[in-house]
């Protein structure tokens, strides 16, 4: 029997949902049998940087990091963990993209009434501060993706290629079984009237759904609850800026040629509410703009 | 000599080859100089300009972005210009939310024969961007 | 009303003692959700439930439900009975899941046993606890549309319904959860109860919990009821009336929420759980009961209560996607409360006429709980100027008494800092 791989799990700031998604895995008990779990912070214990330093460099075979990187303390710990691990998984939307917490990047410290010690601290995805070998997307990662991660990392004989994302390379649309009924976007619909038709593509019905620009592998579970995709698994392969990409796509649907003004187009575009919350919900911190700047005005 | 270096803005210009790019060409041929702050990228249609191109340009150091295409009703691909213009309209909202001055993106509709108008537009935009100062987005990268 | 930022979520990771004019203790704030209520401004009403349930996924279900209940009020809408029945069943599944985490899974590293509180009884295996976790999440998925973080709640009702097969599966799962709860309580009575009996930390407090129309304790929604330390009713009403009292608490005793508070506020309405609670009272006395560790026993009994309520709620759930929303009115302000596992959570939102959030406040049970914990901490530290390792251990004891998950820990993970007058850290203790 080959030596057990060593595994460590580190949860930084976040909601704990990623930890729960691991606990829910039917493979968890099997996993714990196959690996030597060095620590699971902060679920089973807190861990000081001193204690992390005690491990050999590259001494931990696999480190799972869930949660945001916000502030110098997190950055230092992340870099320390990187030094001690052979491979690192960015687990969940916060580690992968910055997550919901990244929306805070759009506001200034004064606007956030942030804690005194948090002044000037903004959210970053883990890959902005260390090299990340693998990504498990989702908020929290759905079981199908967790299972795939466990199989590829702990059960398969060969480690997956660095850069592997344990999800589909196709957009969510590939797993959504709604019918496409092409329709120009003439006004954006919200949930103020009856729920949408469950059989037809939400964008065709005028709702904003991030499916086309979001990585799939989640079985389009939100669509099956008659809710739009909000983009929690991050941009689909080939897309760098998730919000920009969906806005780009929506812009293509708003077209009323035949006049010499853009009045009608602007009317429709103005009806898109909450551009940041809708299109950059999980990815504000990993967008091209990353965070608020001070630009004169 | 004063040791203040004058800020020279970097402007990326996405120009539709049928119209504004032709106007820029005309400027060159007619020996009408325009500020060398701009770097021109020819596109088949302003509808080809993606959100990523605009945002990435800012992140890589552009202080201003000029997009030159056809006016509504004149696009040879019927509505490519409208789609391109829609994208800019939405991106300006995003820029505002992130604190970036949305006037750093300017759209112009300049026909191929309007060389002088092109020259004037670039001079004006360069002056405006110079007044805005460097775009702070690159320092985030 | 002052826009109270949501980042005041007391955590148990840090206790701050100030060394000046006697020691005072404060359960300090966690940075996790810094600025939450500020970045809720400008967001869409229909997204609110998705945001708040990610503050702390431990309580994702009650936060989701409290948000949609408050939004219902913003829009002056009463969801149809069909939607309410599903929301109620979802609430009980979420309540059960929360208590499972408290009792079995969110433990600090301990050397004795693997299954949290009920570690000394071999009849409760780790595998059984994990199965119960899986089943409760399956229920959350069947009723709420997605595991861990439900999707279906929208203002006015739900976005989609459940199938007939789903209802059958849910009923099967619920019945297994009841069996596990009964076994867990029995095991606790055989072993954990003895630990509770020898605890001596008693903190008299007022208690807040949600009650049904007949004053029995609710594990979902209802009127908010505050009783004094003798168990006498001190205030009762809707969230909108009780909220100001929470914000300006000035009584001489702290206010408590959660299992021990529910024990003091009212009777359990379901038969099996009630008779188990009677047995607990026979052993410990009460109500009223202010022995902090009794909250753990109550937590196990509430597993039974939640399962019984879940079975009742599922019997009223209907299948299908029709008739699950009501038309929305013109929105403005709405306040609602839900009883989560940790205690009552109150949500307040103000929307503009397009349903865009103008103000958002979420009052978490732990914010309220901090008061009674701080009183306990202050009593432990006393008037000594010296802080010793013994004091630190007694702090750990207070926290253990308030959070069942930490009971079997040999060493409670904790960071205690001593700050001087200007707030600079002069001493720090860390565990482990």
Lowest mean pLDDT among C168-177, C193-202, C226-235, C313-322: C193-202
The tokens for B94 are 């995003």
Task: Say if residues C177 and C310 touch (Cβ distance below 8 Å).
Answer: yes
| Whether residues A127 and A174 fall in one domain | no
How far is Cα A89 from Cα B67, in angstroms, rounded to an integer? 41
Does residue C385 sit in helix, strand or coil? coil
Q: How many helices (H) and strands (E) does chain B have?
A: 4, 4
H/E stretch holding A7: strand A5-11
Domain chopping of chain B, boundaries: 11-127
Cα separation, C180 vs C197, whole angstroms: 24
- Is residue A161 one of the residues assigned to a domain? no
The Cα C267–Cα A7 span in angstroms is 47
* Domain-terminating residue out of A155, A179, A204: A155
A75 and A139 co-located in one domain: yes
Any domain includes A88 = yes
A13 and A132 fall within a common domain? yes
Please give the model's pTM, rounded to 2 decimal places: 0.90
Question: Do B72 and A266 lie within an 8 Å CB cutoff?
Answer: no
- Residue A145 inside a domain? The answer is yes
Convert the pLDDT of each residue in C168-223 to its tens digit.
999 999 999 999 999 989 888 887 788 788 877 788 889 999 999 999 999 999 99
Range of the domain at A118: 5-155
| Residue A3 DSSP one-character state | P
Residues A226 and A263 in one domain: yes
Count of beta carbons in the 10 Å neighbourhood of residue C7: 22
What pLDDT is attached to residue C424?
65
Q: Which position has the higher pLDDT, C169 or C52? A: C169
Specify the DSSP element, H or E, that contains C318. none
Residue A109 lies in a domain: yes
Q: Do A176 and A226 have their domain in common?
A: yes
Contact of A288 with chain B, judged by CB distance below 8 Å, is answered with yes
CB atoms within 10 A of CB A116: 7
Pairing state between β C223-227 and C206-211 = antiparallel
In this predicted structure, what is the pLDDT of residue C426? 66
- Token readout for C385 is 């100027």
The SS3 assignment for A189 reads coil
Using CA atoms, how far apart are residues A49 and C319, in angstroms rounded to an integer? 52
Shortest Cα distance, chain C CAs vs residue A49, angstroms: 12
Confidence label for C410 from pLDDT (cuts 50, 70 and 90): very low
Domains of chain C as residue ranges with CATH: 10-319+330-373 (1.10.645.10)
Structure confidence at residue C69 (pLDDT): 97
Mark yes or no for CB contact C58/A48 under 8 Å.
no
- Strands C255-256 and C206-211 come out as parallel
Decide: helix, strand or coil at residue A266.
helix
A12 is a domain residue: yes
CATH of B11-127, one of 2.60.120, 3.40.50, 3.30.70, 3.40.30: 3.40.50
A16 and C108 in contact by Cβ < 8 A?
Answer: no
Neighbours of B6 (CB within 10 A): 6
Partners of residue C108 in chain A, C-beta under 8 Å: 44-45
CB contact under 8 A, B90 and A272: yes
Q: Would you say A142 and A218 are in contact if contact means Cβ atoms under 8 Å apart?
A: yes
| Domain total in chain A | 2
Q: Are residues A219 and A192 in the same domain?
A: yes
Across the interface, of C13, C31, C154, the residue whose CB is closest to A118 is C31
Report the distance separating Cα C300 and Cα C193, nearest Å.
11
State the CATH number of the domain containing residue A55: 3.40.50.700
Over residues A29-70, the pLDDT tens digits come to 778 888 898 888 764 446 778 889 999 999 999 999 998 888
Q: Are residues A140 and A174 in the same domain?
A: no
A172 lies in the same domain as A125: no
CA C285 to chain centre: 24
A14 Ramachandran zone, left/alpha/beta (phi>0; psi -120 to 50):
left
Distance CA C274, CA C287 (A): 13
Q: What's the rounded Cα separation, in Å, for the pair C146 and C155?
A: 18
End-to-end CA distance of chain C: 41
Residue showing tokens 């009975």: C81
Strands C357-363 and C414-419, sheet pairing: unpaired
- Chosen for mutation from A235, A242, A257 (greatest number of chain B CBs closer than 10 Å) is A257
End position of a domain, from candidates A116, A132, A155:
A155
Please indicate, yes or no, if residue A13 is contained in any of the structural domains. yes
At A192 the pLDDT is 67
Q: Which of these, C372, C365, C321, lies nearest to C95 by C-alpha position?
A: C365
Q: How far is CA C198 from CA A109, B30, B33, C297, C373, in A?
A: 48, 97, 91, 13, 20
- A49 and A187 together in one domain: no
ipTM for the whole complex = 0.93
Is A222 in the same domain as A282? yes
Does residue A82 share a domain with residue A105? Answer: yes
């Amino acid at each position: 029997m080959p030596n057990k791989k060593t595994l460590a799990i580190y949860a930084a700031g976040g909601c704990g949902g990623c930890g729960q998604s691991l606990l829910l895995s039917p493979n968890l008990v099997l996993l714990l049998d196959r690996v030597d779990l060095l620590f699971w912070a902060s679920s089973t214990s807190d861990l000081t940087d001193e204690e992390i330093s005690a491990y050999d460099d590259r001494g931990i075979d696999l480190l799972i990091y869930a949660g945001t990187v916000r502030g110098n303390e997190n950055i230092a710990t992340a870099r320390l963990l990187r030094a001690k691990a052979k491979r690192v998984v960015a687990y969940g939307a916060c580690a992968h993209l910055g997550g919901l917490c990244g929306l805070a990047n759009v506001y200034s410290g004064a606007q956030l009434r942030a804690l005194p010690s948090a002044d000037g601290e903004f959210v970053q995805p883990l890959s902005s501060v260390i090299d990340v070998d693998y990504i498990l997307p989702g908020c929290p990662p759905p079981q199908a993706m967790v299972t795939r991660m466990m199989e590829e990392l702990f059960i398969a004989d060969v480690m997956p290629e660095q850069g592997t994302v344990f999800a589909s390379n196709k957009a969510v649309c590939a797993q959504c079984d709604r019918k496409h009924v092409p329709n120009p976007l003439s006004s954006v619909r919200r949930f103020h009237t009856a729920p949408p038709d469950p059989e037809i593509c939400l964008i065709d019905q005028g709702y904003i759904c991030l499916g086309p620009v979001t990585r799939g592998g989640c079985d389009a579970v939100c669509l099956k609850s008659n809710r739009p995709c909000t983009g929690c698994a991050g941009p689909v392969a080939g897309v760098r800026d998730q919000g920009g990409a969906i806005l780009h796509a929506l812009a293509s649907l708003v077209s009323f040629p035949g006049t010499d003004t853009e009045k009608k187009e602007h009317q429709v575009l103005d009806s898109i509410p909450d551009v940041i919350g809708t299109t950059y919900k999980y990815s504000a911190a990993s967008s091209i703009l990353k965070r608020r700047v001070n630009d004169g005005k | 000599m004063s040791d203040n270096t004058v800020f020279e803005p970097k402007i990326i210009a996405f120009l539709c080859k049928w119209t504004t790019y032709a106007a820029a060409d005309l400027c060159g041929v007619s020996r009408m100089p325009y500020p060398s702050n701009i770097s021109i990228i020819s596109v088949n249609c302003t509808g080809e300009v993606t959100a990523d191109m605009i945002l990435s340009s800012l992140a890589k150091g552009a202080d201003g972005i000029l997009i030159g295409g056809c006016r509504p009703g004149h696009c040879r691909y019927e509505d490519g210009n409208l789609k391109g213009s829609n994208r800019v309209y939405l991106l300006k909202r995003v820029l505002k939310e992130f604190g970036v001055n949305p006037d750093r993106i300017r759209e112009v509709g300049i026909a191929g024969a309007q060389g002088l108008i092109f020259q004037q537009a670039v001079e004006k935009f360069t002056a405006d961007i110079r007044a805005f100062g460097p775009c702070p987005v690159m320092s985030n990268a | 009303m002052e826009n109270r930022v949501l980042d005041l979520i007391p955590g148990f990771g840090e206790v701050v003692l100030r060394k000046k004019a006697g020691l005072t203790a404060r359960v300090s704030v966690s940075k996790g959700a810094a600025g939450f209520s500020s970045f809720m401004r400008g967001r869409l009403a229909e997204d609110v439930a998705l945001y708040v349930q990610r503050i702390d996924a431990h309580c994702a279900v009650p936060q989701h439900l409290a948000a949609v209940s408050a939004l219902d009020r913003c829009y002056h809408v009463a969801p149809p009975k069909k939607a309410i029945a599903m929301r109620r069943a979802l609430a009980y599944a979420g309540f059960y899941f929360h208590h499972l985490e408290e009792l079995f899974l969110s433990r600090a590293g301990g050397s004795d046993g693997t299954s949290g509180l009920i570690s000394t009884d071999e009849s409760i295996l780790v595998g059984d606890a994990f199965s119960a976790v899986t089943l409760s999440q399956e229920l959350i998925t069947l009723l709420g549309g997605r595991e861990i973080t439900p999707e279906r709640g929208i203002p006015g009702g739900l976005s989609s319904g459940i199938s007939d097969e789903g209802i059958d599966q849910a009923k099967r799962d619920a019945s297994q959860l009841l069996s596990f709860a009964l076994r867990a309580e029995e095991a606790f009575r055989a072993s954990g109860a003895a630990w509770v009996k020898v605890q001596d930390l008693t903190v008299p407090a007022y208690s807040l919990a949600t009650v049904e129309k007949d004053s029995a304790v609710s594990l979902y929604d209802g009127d908010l009821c505050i009783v004094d330390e003798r168990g006498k009713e001190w205030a009762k009403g809707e969230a909108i009336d009780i909220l100001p009292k929470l914000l300006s608490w000035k009584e001489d005793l702290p206010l408590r929420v959660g299992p021990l508070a529910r024990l003091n506020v009212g009777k359990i309405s379901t038969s099996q759980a009630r008779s188990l609670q009677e047995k607990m009272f026979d052993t410990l006395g009460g109500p009223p009961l202010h022995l902090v560790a009794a909250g753990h026993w109550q937590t196990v009994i509430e597993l039974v209560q939640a399962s019984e309520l879940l079975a009742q709620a599922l019997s009223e759930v209907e299948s299908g996607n029709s008739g699950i929303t009501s038309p929305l009115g013109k929105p403005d302000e709405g306040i609602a409360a839900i009883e989560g596992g940790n205690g009552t959570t109150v949500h307040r939102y103000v929307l503009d006429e397009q349903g865009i959030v103008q103000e958002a406040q979420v009052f978490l049970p732990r914010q309220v709980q901090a008061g009674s914990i701080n009183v306990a901490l202050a009593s432990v530290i006393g008037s000594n100027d010296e802080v010793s390792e013994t004091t630190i251990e007694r702090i750990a004891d207070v926290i253990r008494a308030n959070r069942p998950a930490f009971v079997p820990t040999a060493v409670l993970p904790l960071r205690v800092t001593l700050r001087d007058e200007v707030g600079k850290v002069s001493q720090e203790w860390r565990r482990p």
